[in-house]
């Protein structure tokens, strides 16, 4: 049998190239895919991050060894090396290294499991003889000679199931060579009968060790026990590997139905192309986009940034949409507008137009695919504070094919003009609210086109499913064996509320999300408070039933006390305010400035909520304990629109009450230069 020659040269750190590639791929996947996934448990992420760090460290060590150790060439006295016959190996170092103790490990392995736990059949260590030389005045080594011997009673590498390895070690480095062996001839073995490996000590093979179990313990017994230890470690290693592998395989198995639908769709498209050749009409292939030239059934749509501090303005649209002959018509059920911060006068927050657009987002920017005309609705938020429209329609012409992939979504376009009260300079601004069920249009087009694939099936993370209101997809992603951490579940609950996804709230609460969860970026904002601020009645009911604290208190960055009730009042969410009061929300808090919920309602111009507060015992004439001892009505005269002031007067506001500086309601209205109608209302004709 012919054998390939033994390996002639190698390098220290020979696996550095492979380790580098593996490290780059591993860490790119961990940091690019796993770490940003909010649905993955923190401990699971930590395991893979630590593993990536260890692999990176091993890569650095390998490159250090390669650069320091360089290459080594090998010459064998006999090649293939005969078993049972002493043989000399000569090594030449390409780089001079320190004069230290050098050794040679000789290993014989097999792929056959019964021999031992890890395939190790035999190993031996032999001292090396170095040939010192002087380089730059330092004694170094460049030539190493080792005499070694292989057991005569073990198989050689002529049996393809066996492999022999030489490992030269010195100066904290190692070089590995594969070499070939052959059985020693009778003449060679007779001549060298007294020259066995390990000096004059007898060599024991695994078979001799097995025989020794029946009669004596000795070295053979120790080797036998070591075999079982190795087998146990091997089984444990494979068990851990299988456990991790199963966690990766499970998501793939869960996608089998989606893959099946995809294959079916491709097959259907193939039949459609065949029909096209025969003269039949076919819809636009999925690869080119979704056909938008037909009609769809009506579907609900929500577009909002109502619970997001989105630069200057908040908007919230609830409507009913339908595609008719390539045109999207959205009937407005409720459209709300309000500024993020208080307007600085009547010229500061002038809304000049509200429209609808379809865009494709990528890389932090978006490309407009289509845009509607603005509604014939302008409003001055500097005067009214908050505006609501309960009728009207957006008409948006759609492209012939709406992209089926990528971040394609409907957005509101809120256009505003403002005049700086100090410089008098006019400027325009735009805000593009886009939270909500942004895949509703694609789902309707797919249903109308009888496309088998679902747009939600493209989503790979629980967070994306929550943000798109894809409840069924969220259930699939949460149904895996890998549990979600408490932090991840709480974060998903907050995301569901921010995106007005009430359908997913029961699933998240059942999975263990806390009803008292808070927003990570604003810890003073609770889940119950956010749901109340959005007038999400069903979500408020579910959270209260799950044990949410209706009087949860936290201090914000301005040292103000925040409760679910104050969060609802800041959006004038009247229905949720009444719901919280009925559930036991308190009208009192421990604000350092002495502000009550009535003061907050007055400050925010919560006109619709004022009646519920008064009915629950709120006092429009209650003074603050500190800071001018102003009443809630005084606060309204500084910030609130005319409608709020009229409501508070109807609720019993007393214009004669003065603050600690002697200013009554009329003085407050004049000091803050309120409009003539407001001054006339509180000061008299």
The string of DSSP letters for 648-676 reads HHHTT--TT---TTS--HHHHHHHTT--H
- Mean pLDDT, residues 206-234 taken together: 42
CA distances from 111 to 83, 354, 625 (A): 20, 73, 84
CATH of the domain at 147: 2.60.40.380
Is the pTM of the predicted complex or chain greater than 0.85?
no
Question: pLDDT value at position 578?
Answer: 94
Question: Where does a domain end: 231, 248, 281?
Answer: 231
Least confident of 64-73, 499-508, 557-566, 599-608: 64-73
* 383 & 337 share domain: yes
| Mean pLDDT value across residues 616-629 | 85
- Inter-residue contact 314 to 306 (CB < 8 Å): yes
Write the pLDDT tens digit of every residue in 330-341: 999 999 988 888
DSSP H or E run through 397: strand 393-397
In terms of DSSP bridges, do strands 81-82 and 181-182 run parallel, antiparallel, or are they unpaired? parallel
Q: In DSSP terms, which residues pair with 231 in a beta bridge? A: none
Residue at which a domain ends, from 422, 445, 468: 445
Query: Going by C-beta distance under 8 Å and a sequence separation of 6 or more, which residues neighbour residue 316?
Result: 302, 303, 304, 305, 306, 334, 335, 336, 433, 534
Whether 461 is covered by a domain: the verdict is yes
User: Alpha-carbon distance 96 to 109, whole Å?
Assistant: 31
Return d(Cα 577, Cα 597) in angstroms, integer: 11
Compute and round to an integer the Cα radius of gyration of the chain.
39
Is 26 found in the same domain as 126? no
DSSP readout, 343-371? Answer: -SSTTS-EEEEEEEEEEEEETTEEEEEEE
Helix (H) or strand (E) holding 520: none
Please give the pLDDT value at position 269.
43
pLDDT beyond 90 at 576: yes
**674, part of any domain:** yes
For residue 260, being part of any structural domain is answered with no
Q: What's the pLDDT band for 518 if we cut at 50, 70, 90?
A: very high
More confident residue, 268 or 397: 397
CATH number of 536's domain: 1.25.40.20
Determine which of 215-224, 284-293, 554-563, 616-625 has the lowest per-residue pLDDT on average. Answer: 215-224
Say yes or no: 477 and 616 in one domain. Answer: yes
In a domain, 264, yes or no: no
Q: What angle do CA 612, 614, 618 make, to 5 degrees?
A: 120
Is residue 283, in this structure, part of any structural domain at all? no
- Looking at residue 132, what is its pLDDT? 79
Report which of residues 254 and 151 the model is more confident about. 151
Asked if pLDDT for residue 263 goes beyond 50, the answer is no
**pLDDT interval class at 233 (50, 70, 90):** low
Domain-ending residue, one of 445, 466, 489? 445
pLDDT surpassing 60 at residue 343: yes
Same domain, 88 and 55: no
* pLDDT at res. 546: 93
Domain count, the chain: 4
Same domain, 438 and 459: no
Residues 413, 556 within the same domain: no
Judge if the upstream peptide bond of residue 434 is cis by omega within 30 degrees of 0: no
pLDDT of residue 451: 63
Nearest to 445 by CA among 613, 328, 537: 328
Average pLDDT, the chain: 78
Contact 184, 84 (CB under 8 A): yes
Q: Are residues 585 and 630 in the same domain?
A: yes
Cα 54 vs. chain centroid, distance in angstroms? 22
Q: How far apart, in Å, are the Cα atoms of 579 and each of 12, 182, 536, 539, 543?
A: 73, 89, 10, 11, 12
Residue written as token pair 């003085």: 667
Q: What is the mean pLDDT of residues 472-489?
A: 82
User: CA-CA distance, 207 to 215, in Å (whole number)?
Assistant: 14
Same domain, 341 and 356: yes
Please report, to the nearest 10 degrees, the dihedral formed by the alpha carbons of residues 531, 532, 534, 538 taken in order.
60
568 and 672 together in one domain: yes
Indicate whether 112 pLDDT > 60: no
Q: Report the share of the chain in percent with pLDDT over 70.
A: 79
Q: Contact at 8 Å (CB) between 92 and 8? A: no
Mean pLDDT (whole number) for 91-101: 80
269 part of a folded domain: no
Q: List, in order, residues 6 or more apart from 57 with CB less than 8 Å away.
A: none
Residue 420 sits in the same domain as residue 470: no
- The residue range of the domain holding 557 is 454-683
How far apart are the C-alpha atoms of 614 and 608, rounded to whole Å?
11
State the virtual CA torsion across 273, 275, 281, 282 in degrees, nearest 10. -30
Does 26 have pLDDT greater than 90? Answer: no
Higher pLDDT residue, 502 or 187?
A: 502
Q: Give the range among 54-58, 210-214, 536-540 with minimum mean pLDDT.
A: 210-214
Judged on CB neighbours under 10 Å (0-12, 13-18, 19+), 236 is: exposed
590 lies in some domain: yes
75 compared with 226, residue with greater pLDDT = 75
Q: Between 2 and 665, name the one with better pLDDT.
A: 665
The structure tokens 């301005």 sit at 558
**Alpha carbon of 658 to those of 106, 272, 604, 622, 674: distances in Å?**
99, 80, 22, 12, 18
Beta bridge partners of 139: 134
- For residue 477, what are its two tokens? 């992603």
Instruction: Name residue 103's beta-bridge partners.
Output: 127, 169
Q: Which of 32-46, 148-162, 444-458: highest mean pLDDT?
A: 148-162
Cα 621 from Cα 631, distance rounded (Å): 5
3-state secondary structure of 1: coil
Q: How confident is the model at residue 609 (pLDDT cuts 50, 70, 90)?
A: very high
Backbone torsions φ then ψ of 328, nearest 5 degrees = -90, 125
**Which pLDDT does position 240 carry in this prediction?**
64
Block residue for tokens 């957005």: 411
Q: What is the pLDDT of residues 293-326, one digit of tens each?
A: 888 889 999 999 888 876 788 889 999 999 988 8
pLDDT tops 70 at residue 419: yes
Q: Is the pLDDT of residue 375 over 60?
A: yes
pLDDT at 119 over 80: no
Q: Are residues 617 and 573 part of one domain?
A: yes
CB atoms within 10 A of CB 71: 15
The total of other beta-carbon atoms located within 10 Å of residue 422's CB is 7
| Whether the predicted pLDDT of 436 surpasses 50 | yes
- Predicted confidence (pLDDT) at residue 224 exceeds the cutoff of 80: no
- Is pLDDT larger for residue 330 or for residue 405? 330
pLDDT at residue 633 tops 70:
yes
Whether residue 557 is predicted with pLDDT greater than 80 in this model: the reply is no
Q: 196 or 472, which is more confident?
A: 472
In a domain, 113, yes or no: yes
Q: How far apart are CA 8 and CA 72, in angstroms?
A: 9
The mean-pLDDT minimum among 116-130, 158-172, 307-321, 492-506 falls in 116-130
Q: How, if at all, do strands 561-562 and 138-148 pair?
A: unpaired
Instruction: Judge if 23 and 141 occupy the same domain.
Output: no
């Amino acid at each position: 049998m012919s054998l390939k020659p033994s390996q002639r040269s190698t390098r220290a750190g020979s696996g550095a190239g492979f380790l580098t590639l593996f490290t780059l791929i591993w860490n790119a996947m961990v940091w690019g895919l796993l770490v940003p996934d909010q649905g993955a448990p923190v401990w699971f992420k930590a395991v893979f991050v630590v593993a990536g760090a260890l692999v990176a460290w091993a890569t650095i060590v390998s490159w250090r060894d390669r650069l320091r150790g360089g290459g080594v060439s090998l010459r064998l006295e006999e090649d293939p090396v005969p078993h049972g016959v002493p043989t000399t190996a000569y090594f030449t170092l390409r780089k001079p290294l320190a004069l230290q103790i050098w050794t040679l490990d000789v290993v014989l392995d097999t792929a056959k499991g019964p021999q031992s736990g890890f395939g190790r059949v035999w190993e031996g260590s032999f001292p090396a003889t170095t040939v010192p030389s002087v380089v730059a005045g330092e004694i170094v080594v460049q030539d190493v000679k080792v005499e070694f011997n292989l057991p005569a009673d073990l198989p050689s590498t002529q049996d393809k199931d066996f492999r022999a390895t030489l490992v030269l070690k010195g100066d904290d480095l190692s070089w590995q060579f594969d070499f070939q062996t052959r059985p020693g001839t009778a003449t060679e073995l007779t001549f060298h009968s007294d020259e066995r490996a390990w000096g004059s000590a007898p060599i024991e093979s695994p078979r001799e060790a097995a025989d020794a179990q029946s009669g004596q313990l000795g070295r053979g017994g120790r080797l036998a026990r070591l075999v079982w230890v190795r087998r146990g470690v091997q089984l444990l290693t494979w068990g851990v590997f299988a456990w991790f592998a199963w966690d990766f395989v499970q998501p793939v198995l869960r996608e089998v139905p989606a893959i099946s639908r995809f294959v079916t769709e491709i097959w259907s498209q193939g039949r459609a192309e065949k029909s096209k050749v025969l003269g039949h009409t076919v819809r636009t292939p999925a690869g080119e986009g979704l056909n938008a030239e037909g009609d769809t059934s009506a579907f609900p749509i929500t577009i909002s940034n109502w619970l997001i501090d989105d630069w200057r303005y908040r908007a919230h649209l609830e409507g009913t949409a339908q595609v008719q002959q390539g045109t999207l018509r959205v009937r407005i059920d409720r459209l709300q507008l309000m500024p993020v911060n208080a307007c600085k006068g009547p010229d500061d927050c002038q809304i000049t137009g509200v429209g609808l657009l379809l865009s494709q987002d990528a890389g932090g920017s978006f490309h407009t695919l289509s845009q509607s005309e603005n509604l014939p609705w302008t409003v001055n938020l500097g005067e009214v504070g908050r505006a609501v429209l309960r009728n009207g329609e957006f008409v948006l012409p759609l492209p012939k094919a709406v992209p089926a992939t990528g971040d394609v979504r409907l957005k509101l376009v809120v256009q505003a003009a403002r005049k700086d009260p100090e410089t008098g300079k006019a400027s325009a601004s735009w805000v593009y609210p886009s939270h909500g069920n942004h895949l509703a249009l694609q789902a309707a087009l797919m249903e109308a086109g009888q496309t088998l694939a679902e747009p939600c099936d493209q989503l790979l993370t629980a967070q994306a499913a929550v943000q798109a209101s894809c409840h069924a997809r969220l259930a699939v992603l949460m149904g895996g064996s890998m549990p979600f951490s408490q932090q991840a579940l709480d974060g998903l609950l907050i995301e569901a509320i921010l995106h007005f996804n009430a359908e997913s709230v029961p699933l998240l609460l059942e999975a263990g999300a806390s009803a008292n969860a808070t927003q990570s970026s604003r810890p003073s904002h609770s889940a119950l408070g956010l749901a109340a601020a959005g007038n999400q009645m069903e979500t408020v009911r579910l959270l209260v039933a799950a044990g949410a604290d209706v009087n949860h208190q936290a201090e914000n960055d301005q040292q103000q006390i925040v409760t679910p009730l104050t969060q609802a009042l800041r959006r004038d969410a009247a229905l949720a305010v009444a719901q919280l009061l009925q559930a036991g929300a308190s009208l009192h808090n421990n604000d350092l400035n002495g502000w009550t919920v009535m003061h907050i309602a007055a400050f925010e111009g919560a006109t619709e909520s004022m009646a519920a507060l008064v009915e629950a015992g709120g006092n429009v004439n209650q003074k603050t304990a500190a800071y001018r001892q102003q009443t809630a009505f005084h606060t309204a005269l500084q910030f609130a629109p005319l409608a709020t002031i009229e409501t508070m007067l109807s609720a019993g506001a007393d214009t004669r009450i003065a603050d600690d500086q002697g200013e009554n309601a009329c003085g407050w209205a004049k000091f803050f230069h309120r409009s003539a109608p407001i001054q006339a209302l509180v000061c008299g004709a």
